[in-house]
Amino acid sequence: MLETLIQGLLLGGLYCLFALGQSLIFGVMRLTNTAQGDFIILGAYAVIASLGALAISPWLIAVLLLPLAFGFGYGLQRQVLNSTLGRDPLPSLVVTFGLSIVIQNLLLQLFSADPRSIETEGFNTQSIALPGGISVGTLPLVILVLAVAATAALQWLFNRTHVGRAFRAVSDDKETAELMGLNAHHVYALATAVAFVLIALAGALQAMRTTVAPSDGPLLLLFAFEAVIIGGMGSFWGTLVGALLLGVTQQIGFRIDPGWGIWFGHIVFLAVLVVRPQGLFPKTRG
């Protein structure tokens, strides 16, 4: 039982990294990025492809990818997503959904449907023995630590920095924020840029921990979304807790019957929605 719990928390760490970008983008501009999962997979393939071309450590490649992801996110928001924002959610949903289809088929064309992973020279199979005969994978533990660190960093960025204040200002009242001299389009693009750094990180770690295939994106999107909703919109610590809860729930489900693990996660999410639709720690109002 304790082992299931620990495995669930470790899985939840990964889900937290899937979800933080989604949480940030929705919190700042009420945009639902339905291509979130596909961008994570795209990040994973970016590392895999670079690894084929450059013979250096996958960790170094992942770190080098982060500034690129920042620029990509900024450009995507400025060039494409900003023009879809508004009271009507349809344009942004259709555009991100279209991007999702484009990314999936592009990856399928370039890399085939075979699952791939990032070779970490055995790091992904190393484990640490805990008292009580439980062993914990080193990589999943690193991922969980990174997830907690990313949550703390994002919360700090949001609450304590100039950029964070701009994020909160455009989130609360875009028109007034613009009157105060903020360029909302630039602020939105910065938020998406930060979200894409997290997306790239999540993609690299996902492919190190397990395998990725071009059609994996939608499932990751659903996990990310469930974590955000369970945690409550606008709170990054809430997202972390939501992700951990989802991870534990799925592990318990998998333990009862491997065929029902993900199903069980979905059901618990829907139950939370019925009982507490605002999530556990809500900050932002939809």
With residue 129 as reference, give the H or E element that holds it: strand 127-130
Q: How far is the CB of 229 from other proteins (least distance, A)?
A: 7
Q: Secondary structure of the chain: what % helix, strand, coil (to 5)?
A: 75, 5, 20
Applying CB under 8 A, among 2, 109, 131, 181 the residue interacting with other proteins is 109
**The two three-digit tokens of residue 135, written as one number:** 């062993």
**The two three-digit tokens of residue 122, written as one number:** 């055995």
Q: Does 273 bind other proteins (CB under 8 A)?
A: yes
Q: Does 91 bind other proteins (CB under 8 A)?
A: yes
Q: Does 186 bind other proteins (CB under 8 A)?
A: no
Q: Does 105 bind other proteins (CB under 8 A)?
A: yes
Applying CB under 8 A, among 20, 95, 170, 220 the residue interacting with other proteins is 95
Q: How many CA atoms lie within 13 A of 33 on its CB side?
A: 34
What is the distance between the alpha carbons of residues 92 and 35, in angstroms, rounded to a whole number?
11
Q: How far is the CB of 59 from other proteins (least distance, A)?
A: 31
What is the distance between the alpha carbons of residues 57 and 169, in angstroms, rounded to a whole number?
40
Cα 131 → chain centroid: 32
Helices (H), the chain: 2-29, 36-53, 58-79, 90-111, 138-160, 162-172, 174-179, 184-209, 217-231, 236-256, 261-275
Q: How far is the CB of 257 from other proteins (least distance, A)?
A: 8
Place of tokens 């609450």: 159
Applying CB under 8 A, among 226, 230, 243, 250 the residue interacting with other proteins is 226
**How far from 51 is each of 58, 138, 178, 275, CA to CA, in Å?**
7, 22, 43, 46
**The two three-digit tokens of residue 174, written as one number:** 């875009």
Q: Which is nearer to other proteins, 94 or 149 (CB)?
A: 94
Specify the 3-state DSSP secondary structure of 120: coil
Q: Does 26 bind other proteins (CB under 8 A)?
A: yes
- Count the residues of the shown chain that bind other proteins, applying the rule CB under 8 A: 44
Residue 135 bridge partners (DSSP): 129
Q: Does 277 bind other proteins (CB under 8 A)?
A: yes
Q: How far is the CB of 90 from other proteins (least distance, A)?
A: 5
Q: Does 221 bind other proteins (CB under 8 A)?
A: yes
Q: How far is the CB of 93 from other proteins (least distance, A)?
A: 5
| DSSP per-residue codes, 195-228 | HHHHHHHHHHHHHHHS-B-GGGHHHHHHHHHHHH
CB atoms near residue 57 (< 10 Å)? 12
Q: Which is nearer to other proteins, 73 or 140 (CB)?
A: 73
Q: Does 283 bind other proteins (CB under 8 A)?
A: no
Q: Does 94 bind other proteins (CB under 8 A)?
A: yes
Q: Which is nearer to other proteins, 67 or 86 (CB)?
A: 86
Positions 232 through 271 that interact with other proteins (CB under 8 A): 259-260, 262-263, 266-267, 269-270
Q: How far is the CB of 83 from other proteins (least distance, A)?
A: 6
Give contact residues for other proteins (rule: CB under 8 A). 26, 30-32, 34, 80, 83-84, 89-95, 97-102, 104-106, 108-109, 218, 221-222, 225-226, 229, 259-260, 262-263, 266-267, 269-270, 273-274, 277, 286
